[in-house]
A and B are shown apart, each in its own frame.
Chain A
Amino acid sequence: MSNGDWHPGLRESYLYDRNVIAEIQRASREGIYDIRGFGAKRRLPHFDDLLFLGASVSRYPLEGYRERCDTDVALGTRFAKNPLELKIPVTIAGMSFGALSAPAKEALGRGASEVGTATTTGDGGMTEEERTHSKTLVYQVLPSRYGLNPDDLRRADAIEIVVGQGAKPGGGGMLLGHKISDRVAAMRALPKAIDQRSACRHPDWTGPDDLEIKIHELREITDWEKPIFVKIGATRTYYDVQLAVKAGADVIVVDGMQGGTAATQDVFIEHVGIPTLPATRLAVQALQELDMHRKVQLVISGGIRTGADVAKALALGADAVSIGTAALISLGDNSPEYDDEYRKIGSASGFYDDWQAGRDPAGISTQDDELSARLDPVLGGRRIANYLRVLTLEAQTLARACGKSHVHNLEPEDLVALTVEAAAMAGVPLAGTDWIPGLRSG
């Protein structure tokens, strides 16, 4: 029923709204939990709940179209011989070939390379398409170790040890059988068409002390050339970041619960982890207390959509951010162009989240050759480059308004919060007050 069908006497339950009722009915019919892609859809405190205090009498702004506001960032300066030198502080998050089509991976590489930033592999290993088209490529070492090999480790520009991801911290991955093509199956050394489970734990280390030795091994294998990232899903972020620093990470990636996934149980996506906003503040606090802020770089991901999100994450202390879901939307995911086809498979543009199903009309989250062919990697790459440029321009605009000649000069003092919750989570004052809930004094 649409809202237009409402008439007096029809009262929808807050507790049992239409989505809840539909899910109970679906679960009763099918007997299996709901698996989907995308990220958390519930309302969560986020960067939207923060505002910048632009310059005025007490602060001096920079001219928007004349004065420089730099955006470059180096990732991996702690131990690696060859840190990543990026032109913008926005990278493309890890997404697997398997979850995504080959043209989608190629397009991400093309777009990121055009604007001077990095892409990241995913579960299943490195494809030639993404290595060829990604000038800077981060190679993930995941618990499944699908496709992991020392040759790709050496030809990567950085290594990312994935402990968890924001959509499902504590959970492994899954790639359902209908997305297991011959090529995906061969890369993962598994039979075609079976539901592939990715382990939730690494097979050869089990805690922070082991992780330190594991990082050392990877450095030895790659002759200490590559920056080593550690990616964690946001949960006990303060402690996890401190342990990752102790283990020797060059870069820590913190993925909040709004982070996307190709396929996970809905109950996991919506009910595990903490939002990106408090995770950012906790990660920065952990680094500052160790005197490692800016020495070990922090990358924040999970619901980064606009240049405002970028600027606010940097102002809270991140060195860079990473985008996944937004990058897929940039490529064409949920485009109105395919609305008729979304409707044929029970969805609609703007709502499509069945990335696990492999029937993506936009040719992104699929391994079907016909659907994949719809995505032109050159055009997709141009869209990604455009979108990354807009994110950067927006972040620069906000930074200049705050009087900053580099986006990294943004600071928490430039921010206020619109809600008590956001003030407490971000550690900035509620707008119009000097009140930061939860801040202990003395």
Chain B
Amino acid sequence: MGTAELAGVEVVDLASTPLRELNRRLHEPADGVRTWRILNPNGAHAVACGLDSEIDVEIEGHVGYYCAGMNKLGTVHVHGNAGTGLAENLMSGAVIVDGSASQSAGASGHGGLLVVHGDASARCGISMKGIDIVVRGSVGHLSAFMAQTGRLVVCGDAGEALGDSIYEARLYVHGEVAGLGSDCIEKELRDEHVAELSELLARAGVDDIEPREFRRYGSARQLYNFKVDNAAAY
């Protein structure tokens, strides 16, 4: 049996229920069903993508590409690892991953909160447009590439070319930064930044790191308009 209902919780077993059937039902949830529990995802792609209502989805295992893609309003919790493009273009709501995430986590996200309790790979937060991302571990190279707005918090280390060609996003890193990308510089961590960092860490459930130990990075705003004198930076 692919589906069972337990005390208001809709349980769907992807070992026996087609992904299409799951996503169709998540897009138009039956009245009164606010919580879903997904069993045996087994690395399936596009699980719980395109949610458009305030439902909670608990995924018991690893997921493939684009889990919770374009999520709006929903809360998706992956009790495992996630593949490429986790929560891409996130609009609102929250996506939480207990394990690690592959590349492009939170890519082009417009809003909402993404929490990765393990590590995130390359291009975490690429082209972010308002999303908040908290990574308990480290992030790979080219994270926050062309990041427009929003906040990326890295409790571990950051790889090469962090914040390359960054616009107005704010980056916070607790560990080492292997290198900054073009036009990304370290900036002063002021009280207002500590306050927003504290709030982000609290929302992500991270309570064992002192916010004042982070370093802040952002745009030098030197490449916003093309100047021939900056040609070497391009």
Q: Are A150 and B84 in contact (CB under 8 A)?
A: no
Q: Are A199 and B146 in contact (CB under 8 A)?
A: yes
Residues of B within 8 A of A150 (CB): 50, 52, 70, 72, 89, 91
Q: Is B81's CB within 8 Å of the partner chain A?
A: no
Residues of A within 8 A of B84 (CB): 204-205, 210, 213
CA distance A295 to B212 in the complex (A): 60
1/0 per position for A203-243, CB-CB distance to B under 8 A?
Answer: 11100001001101100111110000000000000000000
Q: Are B129 and A177 in contact (CB under 8 A)?
A: no
CA distance A194 to B66 in the complex (A): 31
Question: Which residue from B20, B46, B66, B110 sits with its C-beta under 8 Å from A189?
Answer: B110
Q: Is B116's CB within 8 Å of the partner chain A?
A: no
Residues of A within 8 A of B72 (CB): 150-151
Q: Which of B194-234 contact A (CB under 8 A)?
A: 224-226, 228
CA distance A145 to B84 in the complex (A): 17
21 A-B contacts, Cβ less than 8 Å apart? A149-B89, A149-B91, A153-B70, A189-B149, A190-B167, A191-B167, A191-B224, A195-B226, A197-B165, A199-B127, A203-B104, A203-B107, A204-B85, A204-B108, A213-B66, A214-B65, A216-B45, A217-B66, A220-B23, A223-B23, A223-B27
Q: Is A148's CB within 8 Å of the partner chain B?
A: yes
A148-B89, A204-B88, A213-B45 are known contacts; what are 13 more A-B pairs with Cβ within 8 Å?
A31-B228, A145-B108, A153-B70, A188-B148, A189-B130, A203-B145, A204-B66, A213-B46, A213-B84, A217-B45, A220-B20, A223-B24, A224-B20
Q: Is A32's CB within 8 Å of the partner chain B?
A: yes
Residues of A within 8 A of B226 (CB): 32, 195
Q: Which of B107-162 contact A (CB under 8 A)?
A: 107-108, 110, 123, 126-127, 129-130, 145-146, 148-149
Q: Which of A177-197 contact B (CB under 8 A)?
A: 177, 188-191, 193-195, 197
| Chain A minimum-CB-distance residue to B169 | A189
Q: Is B168's CB within 8 Å of the partner chain A?
A: yes
Q: Are B127 and A195 in contact (CB under 8 A)?
A: no
CA distance A225 to B64 in the complex (A): 23
* B229 CB, nearest partner CB in chain A, Å: 9
Q: Are B91 and A217 in contact (CB under 8 A)?
A: no
CA distance A145 to B167 in the complex (A): 15
Residues of A within 8 A of B23 (CB): 220, 223
| Chain B minimum-CB-distance residue to A144 | B127
1/0 per position for A137-181, CB-CB distance to B under 8 A?
Answer: 000000011001111010000000000000000000000010000
Q: Is B19's CB within 8 Å of the partner chain A?
A: yes
CA distance A208 to B44 in the complex (A): 18
Question: Which residue from B24, B108, B130 sits with its C-beta under 8 Å from A203?
Answer: B108
Residues of B within 8 A of A144 (CB): 127
Q: Is B163's CB within 8 Å of the partner chain A?
A: no
* A310 CB, nearest partner CB in chain B, Å: 36
Mostly, the A contact residues are loop
User: Assuming the A-B contacts A150-B70, A217-B69, are A145 and B50 also in contact, with contact meaning beta carbons closer than 8 angstroms in the complex?
Assistant: no
CA distance A319 to B145 in the complex (A): 39
| Chain A minimum-CB-distance residue to B126 | A203
* A231 CB, nearest partner CB in chain B, Å: 18
* B27 CB, nearest partner CB in chain A, Å: 6
CA distance A194 to B52 in the complex (A): 33
CA distance A442 to B63 in the complex (A): 50
Residues of A within 8 A of B88 (CB): 203-204
Q: Is B49's CB within 8 Å of the partner chain A?
A: yes
* A225 CB, nearest partner CB in chain B, Å: 11
Residues of A within 8 A of B89 (CB): 145, 148-150
1/0 per position for A235-268, CB-CB distance to B under 8 A?
Answer: 0000000000000000000000000000000000
Q: Which of B19, B27, B224 has the most chain A CB within a 10 Å cutoff?
A: B224
Residues of B within 8 A of A32 (CB): 226, 228
CA distance A190 to B129 in the complex (A): 8
Contacts from A to B (Cβ < 8 Å): 30-32, 144-145, 148-151, 153, 177, 188-191, 193-195, 197, 199, 203-205, 210, 213-214, 216-217, 220-224
Q: Are A205 and B85 in contact (CB under 8 A)?
A: yes
User: Assuming the A-B contacts A150-B52, A195-B226, A221-B49, are A189 and B129 also in contact, with contact meaning beta carbons closer than 8 angstroms in the complex?
Assistant: yes
Residues of A within 8 A of B108 (CB): 145, 148, 203-204
Question: Which residue from B70, B123, B129 sits with its C-beta under 8 Å from A221?
Answer: B70
Question: Which residue from B45, B50, B130 sits with its C-beta under 8 Å from A222?
Answer: B50
State the 6 A-B residue pairs at the shortest beta-carbon distance, nearest first: A221-B50, A204-B85, A145-B108, A194-B224, A203-B107, A31-B228
Residues of B within 8 A of A188 (CB): 148
Residues of A within 8 A of B50 (CB): 150, 220-222
Question: Which residue from B69, B110, B129, B224 sits with its C-beta under 8 Å from A195?
Answer: B224
* A264 CB, nearest partner CB in chain B, Å: 13
CA distance A153 to B49 in the complex (A): 13
* A36 CB, nearest partner CB in chain B, Å: 14
Residues of A within 8 A of B85 (CB): 204-205, 214, 217
Q: Which of B1-46 contact A (CB under 8 A)?
A: 19-20, 23-24, 27, 45-46
Q: Are A177 and B225 in contact (CB under 8 A)?
A: yes
Residues of B within 8 A of A213 (CB): 45-46, 64-66, 84
CA distance A189 to B69 in the complex (A): 19
* B87 CB, nearest partner CB in chain A, Å: 10
User: Assuming the A-B contacts A189-B110, A190-B148, A217-B49, are A203 and B165 also in contact, with contact meaning beta carbons closer than 8 angstroms in the complex?
Assistant: no
CA distance A381 to B58 in the complex (A): 50
| Chain B minimum-CB-distance residue to A141 | B89
* B61 CB, nearest partner CB in chain A, Å: 18
CA distance A224 to B104 in the complex (A): 24
CA distance A188 to B108 in the complex (A): 11
Residues of A within 8 A of B224 (CB): 177, 191, 194-195
